[in-house]
Amino acid sequence: MKISSATACLAAIGLAVMLGGCQGKDPFYAAAPDQVSKVLDRANLPMMVFGERAATAKHWRVNAATTMWALQSDSRVELLRLSATTIAEGKGTRIHYDVLPPESSIRDQVAQGLKENGAYRDLYRSALAEQIDAKLTNREFAIQNIAVEAARVTLGALPNIRESMDNAEKEYQRRQQRDIDRVYANEK
């Protein structure tokens, strides 16, 4: 049975919408805020999501409750900020994650992009939350735990992917025709 790309897209969208309701509030850990903060201070951003920028991200403590990471360009211009804030709750700690525009010349542009494209914001927030959860629970980062957010980004990019594929096909056809025309021209 052949499944059309439109059917596959609709199925993926349905899955993402269905799973979207599974997101909960800020995660809770049965550890004191100062213990959680120590883990935050040692955590790096996951390279699986942020690529090489994770290795060069600026990392600092804003105050007793908040840790900040800033992705930077090669010329050290801030591109994006991520934060984790601990909130004492009973005998444990909740962690609130946020994705913020940078403190740089592109602040307004990034803020608008995050507003218009919540899927990326959700992916980045989920990736940071997964990285911290992995550290706090002593396990490896699990990409499947951010699969829904990654799927949303992919679904949002499908029109651009399709356009790129169409353009590549047109360029291939143009080159093929040019080569055929050249062969026929040389035979005359």
Calculate mean pLDDT across residues 81-108.
94
**More reliable by pLDDT, 123 or 15:** 123
Q: What is the CA radius of gyration of the chain?
A: 22
Q: Count of H helices and E strands in the chain?
A: 6, 5
Percent of the chain with pLDDT over 90: 55
* C-alpha–C-alpha distance, residues 12 and 37, integer Å: 37
CA contacts within 13 A on the Cβ side of 3: 7
68 sits in which H/E element: strand 66-72
Q: Determine if the pTM surpasses 0.95.
A: no
Q: What is the band of 23 on the pLDDT scale with cuts at 50, 70, 90?
A: very low
Domains, the chain, ordered by start: 25-141 (3.30.310.80)
